[in-house]
Amino acid sequence: MTRIYDEDLDGEFATQAVHAGQRPEPLAGAIMTPVYLTSTYVQDALGEHKGYEYARGKNPTREALERNVAALEGGRHGFAFASGVGCVDSIMKLFKSGDHVICGENVYGGTFRLFDRILQHMGLSFTYVDTRDPERINDAVTARTVAILVETPTNPLMRLTDLAAAGDIARHAGALLVVDNTFATPYFQQPFMYGADIVWHSTTKYLNGHSDMIGGIAVVRDDDLAARLQFIQNAAGAVPGPFDSWLALRGTKTLHLRMDAHDRNGRQVAAWLAERMGEEHVIYPGLRSHPQHELACRQMTGMGGMISVEMGTKERAAQVLGRVRVFSLAESLGGVESLISHPASMTHASVPPERRAQLGITEGMIRLSCGVEDVGDLLNDLEHAFEGM
């Protein structure tokens, strides 16, 4: 089982980001973890091996990534997957037909699609609630509730869940609190401090940070839960390849530097947008006008680079999306380059239109992922794109 090296927990975040999970390679002392491109491992004799038998079960490059992110999250065990949705799909395999899961009503569209179009047909039941209000989570608990799943801040509405309150409810219900920490990253938010049992990510986003791979990772503290997840990781087999693991690991080395830059740019871009469009149209937890700004300051140490803006109509949204030059019109987020998107037709197209409307993911909404470019250039780009608005 991929457990962290305990001594990695001694360092501060930046030291862990660079070093945790990695040791000089034993053959030549290479400081960088090699990409172990192998499917199997030679055994010295029948039943005698070095702890590695077949690469679906274990791969040293993947293990280095798993240990690194587990240390950053303040967890004990990491499990990397071939994508973020592959990761949450494997987490859901902890449960069985008849089990009940409470899920935040605004989660990434692909997470909702997995639950609504696949897993509910396999006997799991889901109740979607507005997890901004802990009472609603509590009211949804039944005798069959096995998990409470939240994304905070959410994609794209930037809604927050009070993790401490959700953690209390989960504990009393005997359910697991499962937190998608993709937007905040462990640099800005540490869900285990508030009672999370499983913290997971799309590593495709900020952890990798360079938009050059797809991946997911789950981190846990509890040894029994880790043993169950390890079984699923091997038995269901949604594992990442070694090169993707290496790319993600290369990304986490600079996570703290990048997140500071995303946060700086995010705050300035949000302030510019609020000035231009009126703060009621700009959704960013770092703005005082965000209804959960106080909670954001309490449970997050930074606000990051994700901002949503209500443009009013699809035409106005299309104008901005069509005029940007530094921001690129594309799905995804969390890379060093700035991206802009239209959630209703892109990341959340798999959410039925009436559900999107009810949540407030309108045709006029755009979502910005502020990269780490020069903020003056980002603001000039927006100035040009918002001309006449």
Ligand X SMILES: Cc1ncc(COP(=O)(O)O)c(C=O)c1O
For β-strands 328-329 and 216-220, DSSP reports them as: unpaired
DSSP-derived secondary structure for 48-101: B-SS--BTTT--HHHHHHHHHHHHHTT-SEEEEESSHHHHHHHHHTTS-TT-EE
Q: What is the nearest approach in angstroms of ligand X to the Cβ of residue 84?
A: 2
Residues 301-360 that bind ligand X (CB under 6 A): 347
**Token pair of 173 as six digits:** 């219900």
> What is the CB neighbour count within 10 angstroms for residue 63?
22
What residue type is 359 in one-letter code? L
52 tagged catalytic: no
Any contact of residue 115 with ligand X (CB under 6 A)?
no
Say what angle helices 314-323 and 375-385 make with each other, to 10 degrees. 130
Any contact of residue 245 with ligand X (CB under 6 A)?
no
Binding mask 69-98 for ligand X (x = CB under 6 A): --------------xxx-------------
108 tagged catalytic: yes
Scan for tokens 């055994």, then name that residue. 43
Which of 76, 205, 258, 367 does the annotation list as catalytic?
205
Query: Distance of CA 197 to CAs 29, 208, 220, 302, Å?
Result: 36, 23, 6, 22
Any contact of residue 180 with ligand X (CB under 6 A)?
yes
Closest CA to 116 of 358, 352, 363, 359: 352
Which CB atom, from 21 or from 216, has the smaller least distance to ligand X? 216
128 tagged catalytic: no
50 tagged catalytic: no
Among 151, 162, 244, 363, binds ligand X (CB under 6 A): 151
Q: What is the nearest approach in angstroms of ligand X to the Cβ of residue 215?
A: 6
Any contact of residue 182 with ligand X (CB under 6 A)?
yes
Query: Which residue of this chain has its Cβ atom nearest to ligand X in the complex?
Result: 84
Which CB atom, from 16 or from 347, has the smaller least distance to ligand X? 347
Binding mask 195-224 for ligand X (x = CB under 6 A): -------x-x---------x-x--------
> What is the CB neighbour count within 10 angstroms for residue 95?
18
Among 59, 155, 190, 252, binds ligand X (CB under 6 A): 155
The size of the interface with ligand X (CB under 6 A), counted in residues, is: 16
**Token pair of 119 as six digits:** 């897993």
Which CB atom, from 173 or from 213, has the smaller least distance to ligand X? 213
Any contact of residue 361 with ligand X (CB under 6 A)?
no
For β-strands 176-180 and 328-329, DSSP reports them as: unpaired
Query: What is the C-alpha to C-alpha distance for residues 254 and 271, in angstroms, rounded to an integer?
Result: 26
Which of 108, 128, 206, 284 does the annotation list as catalytic?
108
Residues that bind ligand X (CB under 6 A): 83-85, 108, 110-111, 151, 155, 180, 182-183, 202, 204, 214, 216, 347
- The residues annotated as belonging to the active site are 56, 108, 180, 205
